[in-house]
């Protein structure tokens, strides 16, 4: 037998517990006889889970605190596929004083949770079954199996989360690239429009030079960096004054020259007409 076939055989023979049979003998754990419980057990053995449930409900109405009736009722509910109701009935059965009944109740509770793929809850229930019955071999097997399945589920969840994150990041990168491409296209359109504006003057009926930008006036020559405007004005005034003074000086010299010549002519004239010999002084 191959390893895989052996593993399948172990699962078939042990596996997760098919719910333990209901307590026989009219609930021996109650130490009382109950006709409704016996009818329910017979119906359940015949595969009539619905009739068995009705009988257990009748017995529970007579003995509401009987944990064994809650246990058998949980078994019937499970066979009817009412898993949540079965869980509640089995949980109620775990609250009794009988350790053997509590071990069976936790064991079957773990089976219900395992079937619903609640592996963490199933492992807890199987561990509780071992607490009240340490020699329960099936509980040990199922506990290990539940823990392994829980580990597999965690790895699967982590892998799915990782793939989802990668997918989200990929979508984010694609969106960023799309946004950047749109932005570049908009910028290119704006540049094209700016370049087309100078060549579309005639379309609007404007003069050829209507859209030409105004020319800036020629800059006024500024004074030399070492001379302020005030100093330049003073220098110009000084030069003008010097030039004016030179003209005035020349005019004065010319006037003096003319005057000097006039004086000399006048003196010559006087000497010619008014000469008198000098008087003797002896």
Per residue in 210-224, pLDDT (tens digit) is: 455 566 666 665 555
Residue 99, pLDDT score: 93
Residue 212, pLDDT score: 57
Contacts of 126 (CB under 8 A, 6+ apart): 106, 107, 110, 139, 140, 142, 143, 146
- For the question of whether the overall pTM of this predicted structure is more than 0.95, the answer is no
Residue 107, pLDDT score: 94
CA dist list (Å): 24 to 43, 69, 97, 102, 112: 12, 11, 19, 16, 22
CATH fold of 8-149 reads 1.25.40
Per residue in 249-261, pLDDT (tens digit) is: 677 567 666 765 6
């Amino acid at each position: 037998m191959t390893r895989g076939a052996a593993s399948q055989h172990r699962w078939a023979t042990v596996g997760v517990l098919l719910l333990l049979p209901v307590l026989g003998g009219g609930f021996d754990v109650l130490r009382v006889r109950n006709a409704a419980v016996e009818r329910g057990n017979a119906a359940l053995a015949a595969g009539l889970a619905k009739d068995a449930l009705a009988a257990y409900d009748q017995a529970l109405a007579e003995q509401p605190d009987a944990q064994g009736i809650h246990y058998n009722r949980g078994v019937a509910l499970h066979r009817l596929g009412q898993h949540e109701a079965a869980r509640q009935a089995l949980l109620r059965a775990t609250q009794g004083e009988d350790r053997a009944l509590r071990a069976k109740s936790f064991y079957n509770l773990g089976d219900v949770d395992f079937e619903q793929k609640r592996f963490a809850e199933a492992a807890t229930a199987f561990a509780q079954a071992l607490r009240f019955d340490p020699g329960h071999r099936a509980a040990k097997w199922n506990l290990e199996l539940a823990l392994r399945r829980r580990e597999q589920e965690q790895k699967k969840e982590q892998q799915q989360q990782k793939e989802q994150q990668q997918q989200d990041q990929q979508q984010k990168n694609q969106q960023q690239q799309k946004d950047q491409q749109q932005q570049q296209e908009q910028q290119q359109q704006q540049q094209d429009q700016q370049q087309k504006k100078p060549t579309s003057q005639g379309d609007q009926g404007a003069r050829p030079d209507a859209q030409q930008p105004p020319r800036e006036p020629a800059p006024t020559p500024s004074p030399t960096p070492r001379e302020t405007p005030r100093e330049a004005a003073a220098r110009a005034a000084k030069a003008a004054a010097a030039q004016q003074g030179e003209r005035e000086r020349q005019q004065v010299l010319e006037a003096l020259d003319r005057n000097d010549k006039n004086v000399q002519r006048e003196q010559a004239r006087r000497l010619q007409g008014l000469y008198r010999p000098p008087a003797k002084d002896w």
